[in-house]
A and B are shown apart, each in its own frame.
Chain A
Amino acid sequence: MRAALAIAGVELLRFVKDKGNIFFTFIFPLILVFVLGSQFGGSGNSGRVTISGPDSELRTAVTEQLEDDEVSVQFADHDAMLEQVARGRTDVGLVIDQDSVAAFDNGSATELELIAGNASTSMAAQQRVQVAVGNLDLRQVQVNALEGAGVSADDAAQALEGAAGQASAPTLEVTSVDQLSQEFQGLGQFDLGASSQLLLFTFLTSLAGSSTLINARRQGVMGRTLASPVSTLQAIAGQSLGRWVIAFFQGGYIMLATWLLFGVDWGNIALSLLVLAVFAIVAAGAAMVLGSVLDNEGAAVGAGVGLGLVLAAIGGGMMPLEIFPETMRTIAHVTPHAWGYDAFAEIQRSNGNLIDILPMLGVLVAMAVGVLLLGTWLLRRSLARSL
C-alpha cells in the first residue's frame, strides 16, 4: 500500500506542476458553469421585443404593458432593430415612429409595424405584442362605446373610473404539469449547470490525463517502478489512485467553488461527495484503459478530450437528460455520466437519501470495477509491449 501511495503522490505532483492544468481544472469549469447559468438558468423568458422609434408616451405605454407580461424590452434604432431580428437576437421588432406617436397623442387611428423573427419561437412574443398593443387604448374604446350610447365623454370617463374600481378583472391562473418544468422547479440558476460540468470535467480531465501514463511508460518510469520491489498490482493501484485523487480533488473543488461563488445547492454534502468519489473511480479506471491502449501522448489527449466531450454529451453533461428523447435517455445510461447525473438530481432536487441513490451508486461501482479490471489487464499487457 505504501508503494501505491508513493506512486499516487508522484502522479499528483506531476499534475500540479503542469501549469496548463490550472486553467482547465480550476478556472474553465467555473466559467462554463457561469455562462450556462447566465444564459439558460433562472427565471423563464417570455420573449424579447426590440422597439425602434423616439421616446414617447406611446412607447412608454407599450413597454409597460409588455413588461407587465414579463417580456423583456429593449430599444434600438431602426437598422439595429432589423439586424437583431434578422440575427435572432430578439424575437420581435416593433416600429413606433413619429407619425404613430402623434396619432396616439391626439387619439386618431394609426398602425404599428411589427417585425417577427424567423424562428418559430418568436410566435409567442408576437402574440404578446398583439395583446399589449390591443390593450393600449381599451379605455378609449370604452369611452367611444359609451359616447355612442349618448353619454358625454367626461361623464363616461368618470363612470368608467368608478366602475373599474369596483369590478374585479377576470384572472388567468396558470399551473404546469409539465414534467420537465416540475423537475427543474426549485433548482437554482446555476445548480443544473454545476452538476453537469462537475461530471463532464472530472471525467474529461481524467481521460486526458491518461497521457501521463503513456509518458510514464515511454520514459521507462513504469519499467523502473516494476523493476523495484513493487508488484504490478501495486504499480497499477498507484497509478489509478493518482488519477482518482486528481479527479476527486477537481470535483471537490468545483463543488466548493460553485457553492461559494454561485450559491449552488449541492444538497447533502456527504452523499454528493460519495457520488463524486465513486464516479471518480470510474474516471480513473477509464484513464487507465485509454493510457494502456494508446501509445502516443498526443493521440491520448485528443482521444481523451474527444471521448470526454462525447460521453458527456450523451450522458447529460451538456443538456439535461430530461429533455432527451426516450430512446436516447435509455442509451445515455451506458455512460457513467447519466448515472452520476441521476444521483445528483436525486440529492439536489428531491433531498434523496442514501437508499434513494443506492441503485445509481451500485451501477457506478460495477462500472468502476469493470474498467479497473480491464485497465489492469490492458496495462499489464502494454508493459510487455515495447514502445
Chain B
Amino acid sequence: MRQLLTLLTTDLVQRLRDKSVIIFAVIVPLALMGAMNLVMGDTMDMDLETATVAVSAPEDDQLAAQLIGAIQALPEGGLEVEVTETSAADVQALAESGDAKLGLVIPDGFSAALMAGEPVEVEAVEGDGSGIESTVVLSVVQGFLDRAGASAVAAAAGAELGLPPAELGGLAQQVATGESAISMTTGEASNEQLDPKGALIAGQAGLFLMFTVSFGVLGLLAEREFGTLARLRSMPMNPHLITLSKVLSSFVLGVVATSILLTAGGLLFGVSFGSPLAIAALIVCAVIATTSLTFIVIKLAKTSEQATVIQTILAMVLGISGGAFFPMSGTGLFGTLLDLNPVGAMIRGLGITSGGGGLADIGAPVLILLGFAAVALVIARFVPDRGAMA
C-alpha cells in the first residue's frame, strides 16, 4: 500500500511537471469553451424574445381583425407578441431590417374572398434574425386560415342547402369558434436537459476527460522509454502495482481535471449543474468508465505515439458521438448505442442534476458508466498483450 502510494505520488508529480497534462486537461478545454461561448454567445441564449410582427391589413375587414386577434392572443401560450399595423411596403422594410421578425400582408378584400371560397393568399415574410418566434406565429396564422377556410366551406354548404343568408354569417362564426371535440391538456415531463452553455461545458469536459486519463498509459510507456520500468520490476513489490499506480494516476487526474472544468466552466459561463454530491458521483463514474478504456490501450500500444493515436481516436469518436460538440440524437439501435457512450452518459447525468435531480435520479447514467467500465475491463482481459508490459 505504501509502495502504491509512493508510485502514485511520484507519477503525479511528474505529470504536473510535464506541462502537457495541464495543457490538455485544463487549458485547451477551457480555451475551447471560451472560444465557442464567444462565437455562439447569442445563438446559445435560448430565451424566447418578443415576437415582433408587422401586419398590413385591409381596414374594417372582420376576418383580418380576427387573425390579428389570434396572434395577439399568443401570450397566453407563453410567447410575448408585439403587433404593429402598417402598410404593405413597410412590412417588407421592417422585416428586412430585422425590426420585425415576421411581416404579414393580408390582401384587400380578405374576408369577402375567403367567404366566397375564392383563392386568397396571406403573404408572410420572415425577417432578418427570425427564429422560433416567427415559426410559432406562422403556425397560429396557418391554424387560423384552416379554420376560416372551413367556416367558409360550411357557409357555402349552408347556402347550397338553402339556408337563409342571414343565418350563414352565424353558421360561419360557429365553425370558426366552435370547440373541437378533442381538446388538449398539458402534462409534464421531468427536465433532464442541459441548456446549450451547460451542454458545451459538459461536452468539452467529457471529451477532454478522454485525453486526460490517457496520461496514465503514456506514463507507463514513458517508464519504458526512461528505462525505469526494468528498475521498478526489480523492486521488492508486486509488478502489478506499476500498472495499477498508472491507472490510479489517470483516475486522480481525471477526477481533478473534470471537477476543475465543470466548476470553472460553470462559474465563467454562469451555469449551475445542481447537486454537488450527485455531480461528484457522476464524475467518479465517468472517470472510472473512461479510465477502464486505458487498460485496453495499455495492451495495444507499444509506443507513446501509438498510445496517443489510439486514445485520440477513441476520444474523438466517443466524444463526438456522445455529444461533446452538439447534441446527437438517434432512434432504435443507433439511439441505444449513443446512450451507451460514456461521454453521452455523463452529459445526460449532468442534465438530470441540472434539472434538479439528486443521487437517486442518476441511476441510469451511473449504471451505463459502470457497465461500460465492466465491459471495457472484460475486453482488456482478452486482448492479447503486445503493449508496454509485454
Contact = CB atoms under 8 A, between A and B. Distances in A.
Interface of A: 18-20, 23-24, 28, 31-32, 35, 39-40, 46, 69, 74, 82-83, 85-89, 93, 95, 100, 103-104, 107-121, 123-124, 126-131, 133-142, 144-146, 148-151, 155-156, 159-160, 162-164, 166-181, 296, 298-299, 301-303, 305-306, 309-310, 313-314, 318-319, 323-325, 328, 331-332
B139 A127 contact: yes
A100 B32 CA distance: 50
21 contacts: A28-B313, A88-B327, A110-B183, A117-B189, A120-B47, A121-B46, A123-B48, A124-B132, A133-B180, A138-B147, A142-B151, A146-B157, A167-B152, A170-B114, A174-B125, A175-B123, A180-B129, A296-B20, A309-B28, A318-B325, A328-B38
B158 A120 contact: no
A129 to B, nearest CB: 8
B150 A86 contact: no
A313 B18 CA distance: 27
A32 B43 CA distance: 22
A313 B149 contact: no
A90 to B, nearest CB: 8
A305 B309 CA distance: 13
Contact of B36 (A83, A155, A303, A313): A313
Given A46-B135, A111-B182, A119-B46, 18 more contacts: A20-B305, A87-B192, A88-B351, A104-B181, A112-B182, A128-B139, A130-B139, A141-B175, A142-B175, A149-B158, A149-B171, A151-B163, A159-B161, A162-B160, A168-B117, A169-B146, A178-B128, A296-B20
Contacts of B27: 306
Given A118-B355, A142-B157, A318-B36, A135 B143 contact: yes
B284 to A, nearest CB: 22
Contact of B171 (A109, A146, A177): A146
Given A142-B153, A178-B127, A170 B148 contact: yes
B127 A86 contact: no
A293 B120 CA distance: 70
B194 to A, nearest CB: 8
B308 interface: yes
Contacts of A318: 36, 39, 325
B175 A82 contact: no
Given A146-B158, A167-B149, A177 B96 contact: yes
Contacts of A319: 36, 39-40, 43
B338 to A, nearest CB: 10
A18 B40 contact: no
Nearest to B199: A88
A130 B70 CA distance: 13
A185 to B, nearest CB: 12
B77 interface: yes
Q: Which 5 A-B pairs have the closest CB atoms?
A: A167-B117, A20-B309, A306-B28, A131-B143, A163-B156
B180 A136 contact: yes
Nearest to A104: B182
B14 interface: no
Nearest to A87: B192
A141 B175 CA distance: 6
Contact of B156 (A83, A87, A141, A167): A167
A86 B126 contact: no
B48 to A, nearest CB: 5
A368 B222 CA distance: 37
B328 interface: yes
Interface of B: 18-20, 23-24, 27-28, 31-32, 35-36, 38-43, 46-48, 77-79, 92, 95-96, 114, 117-130, 132, 135-136, 138-143, 145-154, 156-158, 160-161, 163, 167, 171, 174-175, 178-193, 195, 305-306, 308-309, 312-313, 316-317, 320-321, 325-329, 331, 335, 348, 351, 355
Interface centre among B43, B124, B161 (most CB of A within 10 A): B161
Contacts of B120: 168, 170-171
Main secondary structure of the interface of A (DSSP, over half): helix
Nearest to A148: B174
B226 to A, nearest CB: 14
B128 A121 contact: no
Contacts of A298: 18, 20
A148 B160 CA distance: 16
Contacts of B36: 313, 318-319
A134 B302 CA distance: 65
A118 B184 contact: no
A306 B117 contact: no
A100 B139 CA distance: 25
Given A39-B328, A141-B180, A174 B186 contact: no
Contacts of A179: 128
A214 B19 CA distance: 16
Contacts of A118: 191, 193, 355
Contact of A323 (B43, B46, B171): B43
B108 to A, nearest CB: 14
A10 B141 CA distance: 67
B39 A137 contact: no
Contact of A126 (B77, B125, B128): B77
B380 to A, nearest CB: 21
B146 A176 contact: no
B163 A149 contact: yes
B186 A130 contact: no
A303 B163 CA distance: 82
Contacts of B145: 169-172
Contact of B125 (A32, A39, A176, A299): A176
A123 B138 CA distance: 12
Given A86-B191, A114-B187, A301-B308, A309 B158 contact: no
Given A146-B171, A332-B39, A138 B146 contact: yes
A181 B126 contact: yes
Contact of B28 (A140, A305, A324): A305
Contacts of B351: 87-88
Given A305-B28, A325-B41, A109 B139 contact: no
A23 B31 CA distance: 25
